[in-house]
Each structure stands twice: as structure tokens, then as C-alpha cells.
Amino acid sequence: MESSRLPATGPQSPTYHPPEYAREPEPPGQPPWKRLAGIAGAALLILFKFGAKLKGLLLLLPKLKILTTSGSMLVSIGAYTLIWGLPFAVGFVLLLFVHEIGHVIQLRREGIKASAPMFIPFVGAIVAMKELPKDAAAEARVGLAGPVLGSLGALVPWAIYGLTGNEMFLALTFTAFLLNLFNLLPVLPLDGGRAMAALSPKLWLVGFAMLVAVAFVFPNPIMLLILLAGGYETYRRWKARNDPAQQAYHRVTTRTRFAVAGVYLGLAILLAVGMDATHVVRDFGDV
């Protein structure tokens, strides 16, 4: 066993001098003011591009139960901090919030009453509709609004990564792309299952089979919970498929079907490409 002590000095031993290693001069970094200017410019561009939508969001926030939302957000941040640390936990919960706000905005546009976003640690977040949409087309629009805005929100940490080079933001971007793509699985109660309401309810069976396969490969309690909820909802709607009210609910124009299919497939492809572009292979070195 090697000793960690330095050689003793004394009359019979030379004075110990630690070896000096030549260090290569570090490349000059980008001046901080230039980084701040870039971030400020990006923020101004976002405000200019989406100023009207941001104004609408600010007007919407007082109508939400802020204490309920913020309280559950803080609990979720605390829970995720135990796994990933505080900075990543904050970014992750904020990205979930953007996804859920997408649903809230579209619910308001459809005139559907809904709860404020509620965050559940290790499960995600939910917005509960207090009434059913008027038809499957409205349900599809509400379902797709979350992944659409959530995917746009993921571009923010990607831009910050481009400005700072901090790989945590790249990891946040990849995680957001992954979660939004997962939500597009064509099975209830996921967002993709709601989109399928406007296409073909038969695709719920395909989506449920896909979810079973994912749960088999990545078994965990959350997947089991989604399977149980999705299985029950799929069975309930499939059983009532011949009901006149249900048939009227799923009666959607061909133009709407093509629009929903285009958004669904296009978003899924872009998210897959985004995941590939932001994936970082971790090198843990020799063990």
C-alpha cells in the first residue's frame, strides 16, 4: 500500500520540491459582455417574435390558481433535485410548465373549463378538463398544443447551450424532446391518443400495444400507471364506439384529419431529429 505522505525533510534527506508541470495556456474565452449581449439579443428576438402571445399568457396567469401551480412546482423541483441537482431540476420543471401551458392556452381558445397545471413528482404534470371538448377535432387540438409549445420551449435551453457551451442545457433540450415525443404515443391518456381521436380510434389499439412494448423494455411504476389509465380509457371508448353520440363526436372533416395528421407526423419527425442532434454520448472513462 502506497503512502500518501510527502518525504520527510532533515539532515539526511533533501528538501522535497513538488514537480512543476508545464501548462498549456488556456485559449482566450469569449468576453463575458459578448455572451451577455448575445443572450440579451436572443431574448429581445423572442419577445419581438412572440410578444402578442406572451402578452396573452400574462393576462391568462392571474386566472390560474397560481398557489396550487407554484406550490406543486416547488415540490417537484425539490424531488428532482435529489436526483439531478437543483439547476437541472429547475429547468426540467419549467419545460414541463411550458408544455402544460400549451394545453391551457388551447383549452381557453376552445372555451373548455380546466384546472390549473398540477405537478406530480416523478410523474409529470396534468391539466384536468372540467368538461368534454365539443368534438374530436377540438380534443386533438388541445392534445397537440402541449407538445407543440413544449417543443418550442425546448429551443430555449438549446440556444443557451449554443451561447455558453454548458452541456446541462443540451441535456435539458434532449430530455424535453424525449418527453414530448413520448407524449405523442397514440394511446390515451397521452397527447398522441387525443390526436388519434380525430384520425382513427382504431389507432388506440396500436398505440396501446406500443406502450406495452415500451413498458416491457423500460419497466417502472409510471409506465404501469399509464398502462392502467390508458387501458381503461381505451376500453371505455372502444366499447361505446357504436353509440350515436360517440359517432357524432368522432365525425371530423377530411381537411381536419389531414391537418391533425400533418402536425402529428411532422412534430414526431422533428422531435426525433432533434433528439439525434442533441444526444451526447457520456464518456465515464476507464473504471
The 10s digit of each residue's pLDDT in 233-256 is: 778 877 777 788 888 888 889 999
* Pick from 26-30, 168-172, 225-229: least confident: 26-30
Residues 6+ apart with CB under 8 A from 155: 173
Q: What is the pLDDT of residue 159?
A: 96
Which position has the higher pLDDT, 95 or 125? 95
* Alpha-carbon gap, residue 169 to 92, rounded angstroms: 10
Q: Is the pLDDT at 205 greater than 80, yes or no? A: no
Three-state secondary structure call for residue 10: strand
* Alpha-carbon gap, residue 198 to 193, rounded angstroms: 9
* Pick from 21-30, 106-115, 143-152, 194-203: least confident: 21-30
C-alpha grid cell for residue 76? 417537484
Q: What is the pLDDT of residue 47?
A: 43
Q: What is the pLDDT of residue 223?
A: 76
pLDDT digits (tens, 9 = 90+) for 86-95: 999 999 999 9
Residue 116's pLDDT band, with cuts at 50, 70 and 90, is confident
Which position has the higher pLDDT, 278 or 28? 278
Is residue 135 within 8 Å of 252, Cβ to Cβ? yes
Q: What is the pLDDT of residue 203?
A: 78
Q: Is the pLDDT at 287 greater than 60, yes or no? A: no
Bond before 147 cis per omega within 30 degrees: no
Residue 27 sits at the vertex; the CA angle it makes with 26 and 29, to the nearest 5 degrees, is 110
Is residue 7 within 8 Å of 13, Cβ to Cβ? yes
Q: Is the pLDDT at 11 greater than 90, yes or no? A: no
* Pick from 46-60, 91-105, 114-128: least confident: 46-60
Q: What is the mean pLDDT of the chain?
A: 77
Which position has the higher pLDDT, 243 or 45? 243
Q: What is the pLDDT of residue 219?
A: 76
Which position has the higher pLDDT, 148 or 23? 148
Three-state secondary structure call for residue 220: coil
Q: How many CB atoms lie within 10 A of CB 228?
A: 10
Q: What is the pLDDT of residue 65?
A: 53
Q: Is the pLDDT at 4 greater than 50, yes or no? A: no
